[in-house]
Structure 1
Amino acid sequence: MQQNQKTEFAPKVAIIGRPNVGKSTLFNIVTETRKAVVKNQAGVTRDIIIEPVEIWGKNFDLIDTGGITEAGDIFSKLIREQVTEFLDSVDMIVAVMDGRAGLVPEDRDIIRVANESGKPFLLVLNKIDKITDEEMAKADFYEFGVDMVTAAFEQRRGIAEILEWITGQINTEVMTLKEGTNIAIVGKPNVGKSSICNAILGTNRMIVSDVAGTTIDSVDSPFAYNGKKYTLVDTAGLRRSAKREEDLEIISAFKSQEAIRRADIVLLMVDGTQGPSDQDARIMQAILEDHKGVILVANKSDLGGREIPEYRKTFREQVQREFHFFDDVNVVFTSAKTGQGIDDLFAMIERVSEQLSFRVPTSELNDFFFETIRKAPAPVWGTTNVKFYYLTQTYQKPPSFIAFANHPDGVTNSYRRFLIKNIKERWDLHGMPIRIFCMKSRRGGDSNG
């Protein structure tokens, strides 16, 4: 197992602005996706959307945010507070304005918010269709003394200048490097995420409250445990209380998604006295889709043990039901309040860390593979048996494998599950979200197996 590997984090670039100024159009052009909805209607983008981008050999995460508006409806307030809170955790800001409309009072507020963040900041005046209109459009904005470009996103004009500014801000030599295993903690509000962080870090530097949803800003906390280095990616900040519970729901949904993506191992925390729910199952599916090591943490187990007969057995039965798609997930029972189970949790983190880095020699893998496929009838494609040629391990973490066969489409999900079950048993990889890809063999044989 490799200890203390360094992980490079791509800088985060947020696109902000009033509704309907072209933020989502810019996001879609740069990321070459249709993730951001584009409609000629104010306030269509409501959630924060993030997409990794590589431009001219430099990597960054581009983020589309909801439109900032001073309108009085509850949703506009929610978006405004969400975006201003969120800017603390980004590295650069691109503020898009409607160049045809000129400077409006809301733009002045947006520029103030961007300036107060202290982050590098580019002002983009969109919808300037004619080069002859550029200087007139800029005149309103010169007073702010910030970097500025004009653009017409629909015509793809100004995109190169924006990308040149972003990549110019990225200094690869000073990219943040973090040592050790990255751990994210996710889960529903009020299951004890803040308290378990305090128990792990041995400090009360993070605010803990009994009110569901009191955590906002993302905080990364490097620490050592038993001589090994870790970084706790604290999914929703845990520094100060939220102004409004609803604000948190949008923010922490994004933070959890971002934290999962950055983590090596994800701790999915549930309230042990209630057991896992449908919502926890959805979070688990998101973790598995991102292909991360995962540990289910049953917190408040001191209460569970007192209040629920055969507590641990009952909890594991709930796990089997709710996580039927991944029922061998590793479970650790903790109590953030008493500190119970923290040593067990780190023993499990270390075990999962080793499993993530597991590699098996190809010859040993194929000996196992051919011995295993003889245990069950071969899958059938049409009237032809699927014939396997060999199995190889990829360099992905957690462990993933490619099986080469004459008819990969004939390898059913149930047959993959059979192979995965045997791999887990052979190399003690229980709780790992192992994947098997099937590809057509270069030998291309069509003979019956």
Structure 2
Amino acid sequence: MLPVVSIVGRPNVGKSTIFNRLIGKRKAIVHDEYGVTRDRHYGQSYWNGIDFNVIDTGGYLPDDMNVMVVGIREQVHIALEESDVILFVVDAEHGINTLDRSVSQLLRQQEKPVLLVANKADNEMRRLNASEFYELGFDEIFPISGISGIGTGDLLDKVTDLLPEAIKEEEDPSPKVAFIGRPNVGKSSLVNALLDDERCIVTDIAGTTRDTINSKLNFNGKDYVLVDTAGLRKRTKVKENIEFYSTVRTARAIQECDVAVLILDAMRGFEDQDKRVLREAEKYNKALIILLNKWDLVTEKDTHTVKDFENYIYESTPQLDYVPILTISALNKKRVHKVMDVVEEVIQERKKEIGTSEFNNFIEDMLSMRPLPMKRGRQLKIQYGTQVKSNPPVFKFFMNSPQDLPPNYRRFIENQLRERYGFKGVPITMVFRQK
């Protein structure tokens, strides 16, 4: 495990810019609007031959009791607990702020190294004026510019001197599970329920999680990485730059995960945006699960309610009728651990392999059930097939005139594959080649 450096400070002092500078990527959203960074974001940095993790936190407001600010404050405290070195960021352009003094009081109580970083010291005058921050009670000041990189080398030299040695571990092979869906459907509540940890801010404000957050979960002796994504909005509503970047990162989380779990609000139904996200995940051949969250709020229920809802979803997206659907209540933790059972089930389905001999027996049975059609006076024939890949499954069929195979027969082949071999929650890729 790598040592950890956290970046804390009041809002809008450039913490996310420094975070991006240290990890060498645009991972944290950088914007001059207050409160953009709300949750902790993790990245990895390398300096002087040392790898370490970096945590970017939301702006610390010690006394504001606004529900969002309280959540950010808790995130900062958790980041401090996880840290080996703390970077206390202040603004060299605007000087000492009352909030800086409040944050310094909190940090002076920490039994960990704290480095005072005067950001936005983009010229000689600001670097000289940064000496006023000695008033905050720290022995050394590091004037830097997160944007240009001025002074960050000296800062990183000091950081790496203070870091403990890393505990070596192999690259994490754990499957990634991304929780996706519209804002305010309960993604963070579900992650928290599974982790039993306040790693994500959970409020009733739509769009709380703007970046993705990764968390580790061990369930039934197996490790998983849970990815809580920003709520996907309809593209016409993505007007702020912040929302745009969040949407991009959610799409990236879908691309990088093994299992995509689409969460629906049972009170709002299955909308076009949900269908689009589901198809996006299918396009990347991710294992798929649909969760109907807030099921406890559905008052008029009988023995057919779940089935009716399933039929409604499957009729809306008939090509995705292989996706399992589960009802839960993340807030009340009802059936939430069933989620991981289904996750593991679809992961195993995604890894399923069928031997070539068995697969060709399947092809023979399928053709006897429904012979291939004639095209342009010629009988279409599938000579043989094989599974060329698993996780996700890819099947290759060798035939004459593959360009003439009708789409409805391709669908018939997929249905027969699922009827015999399952592949629950898993997209199947079929390739047809000329023999």
Q: Provide TM-score, normalisation by structure 1.
A: 0.59
Residue 247 of structure 1: CA displacement? 5.3
2:218 pairs with one of 221, 224, 228? 224
Asked whether the 8 Å contact 2:262–2:278 carries over to 1, the reply is: yes
What is residue 172 of structure 2 aligned with on the other side?
Answer: 178
Over aligned residue pairs, what C-alpha RMSD do you find?
3.8
What is residue 431 of structure 1 aligned with on the other side?
Answer: 425
Deviations 1:353-387 (A, max 9, x none): 11010001110010111111221131333221221
What is residue 336 of structure 2 aligned with on the other side?
Answer: 342
| Secondary structure of the structure 2 residue equivalent to 1:437 | strand
1:419 pairs with one of 388, 391, 413? 413
What is the distance in 2 between the residues matched to 1:111 and 1:418?
Answer: 65
* Range moving further from structure 2, 262-271 or 406-415: 406-415
Deviations 1:278-303 (A, max 9, x none): 11000011001111001001101111
Residue 275 of structure 1: CA displacement? 2.0
Over 3 Å counting, the alpha-carbon distance change for 1:178 and 1:377 in structure 2 is same
Deviations 1:75-113 (A, max 9, x none): x978x998x999966668xxxxxxxxxxxx9xx97989x
Residue 266 of structure 1: CA displacement? 0.7
Over 3 Å counting, the alpha-carbon distance change for 1:65 and 1:179 in structure 2 is closer
Letter in 1 for 2:190: I
Over 3 Å counting, the alpha-carbon distance change for 1:89 and 1:110 in structure 2 is farther
Residue 307 of structure 1: CA displacement? 3.7
Structure 1 residues 1-400: aligned runs within 5 Å: 115-116=145-146, 144=150, 177-236=171-230, 246=240, 248-304=242-298, 306-308=299-301, 310-400=304-394
Asked whether the 8 Å contact 2:181–2:262 carries over to 1, the reply is: yes
What is residue 241 of structure 1 aligned with on the other side?
Answer: none
| Residue identity (%) | 29
* Range moving further from structure 2, 389-398 or 415-424: 389-398
What is the distance in 2 between the residues matched to 1:250 and 1:226?
Answer: 37
**Structure 2 unaligned runs (5+)?**
1-23, 46-92, 94-118, 124-143, 154-167, 232-237
Over 3 Å counting, the alpha-carbon distance change for 1:115 and 1:343 in structure 2 is same
Q: Provide TM-score, normalisation by structure 2.
A: 0.61
Stretches of 4+ moved more than 4 A in 1? 61-66, 84-92, 108-112, 244-248
Aligned length: 302
What is the distance in 2 between the residues matched to 1:175 and 1:322?
Answer: 45
Over 3 Å counting, the alpha-carbon distance change for 1:145 and 1:265 in structure 2 is same
Residue 399 of structure 1: CA displacement? 1.2
What is the distance in 2 between the residues matched to 1:86 and 1:192?
Answer: 16
What is residue 151 of structure 1 aligned with on the other side?
Answer: none
Residue 350 of structure 1: CA displacement? 1.3
Asked whether the 8 Å contact 1:213–1:245 carries over to 2, the reply is: no
Asked whether the 8 Å contact 2:145–2:151 carries over to 1, the reply is: no
Over 3 Å counting, the alpha-carbon distance change for 1:86 and 1:195 in structure 2 is closer
**Structure 1 unaligned runs (5+)?**
1-60, 69-75, 93-104, 122-143, 148-173, 238-243, 442-449
